[in-house]
């Protein structure tokens, strides 16, 4: 019984190593490798659960489909309709860039 568990663990380890190696080899794709047009991400729930940094992409121009790495190593992009958090305060003004000494590290 122990031998079966050890062999099953070795098979699972082999699959895990293979999955990580394949994920590392997938390039960050924004353009179609066939026609160089822009590609669109396609939602595949099983892929996002299995490899969260990999997404399936589709080219509307030539019909190419294939895997691509998400930009910057982000695991998931925000859902459509949600906006990124604003850097403005409640009054609608941008945050102050003043620091001690009265000089800002940012150009005007």
CB 39 within 8 A of CB 68: yes
Q: Is residue 38 part of a domain?
A: yes
pLDDT in tens, 25-67: 888 877 888 888 888 888 888 877 877 888 888 888 888 888 8
Q: Is residue 86 part of a domain?
A: no
Q: Is residue 58 part of a domain?
A: yes
In the three-class reduction of DSSP (H, G, I as helix; E, B as strand; rest coil), residue 68 is classed as: strand
Q: Is residue 39 part of a domain?
A: yes
Burial profile 25-61: b = 16 or more Cβ within 10 angstroms, e = fewer = eeeebeebeeeeeebeeeeeeeebeebebbbbbebee
Q: Looking at the 3D structure of the chain, how many domains does it have? A: 1
- CATH code of the domain in which 62 resides: 2.20.25
Name the residue range of residue 40's domain.
28-71
What CA–CA distance (Å, rounded) separates 85 from 45?
A: 25
Q: How confident is the model at residue 11 (pLDDT cuts 50, 70, 90)?
A: very high
Q: In this predicted model, which residue has the larger pLDDT, 91 or 82?
A: 91
Tokens of 44: 């595949």
């Amino acid at each position: 019984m122990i031998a079966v568990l050890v062999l099953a663990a070795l098979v699972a380890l082999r699959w895990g190593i293979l999955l990580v190696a394949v994920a590392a080899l997938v390039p960050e794709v924004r353009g179609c490798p066939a026609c160089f047009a822009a590609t669109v991400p396609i939602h595949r729930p099983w892929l996002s659960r299995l490899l969260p940094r990999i997404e399936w992409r589709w080219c509307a121009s030539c019909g190419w489909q294939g895997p691509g790495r998400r930009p910057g190593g982000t695991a998931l992009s925000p859902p459509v309709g949600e906006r990124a958090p604003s850097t403005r305060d409640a009054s609608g003004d941008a945050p102050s860039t003043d620091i001690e000494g009265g000089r800002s590290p940012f150009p005007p």
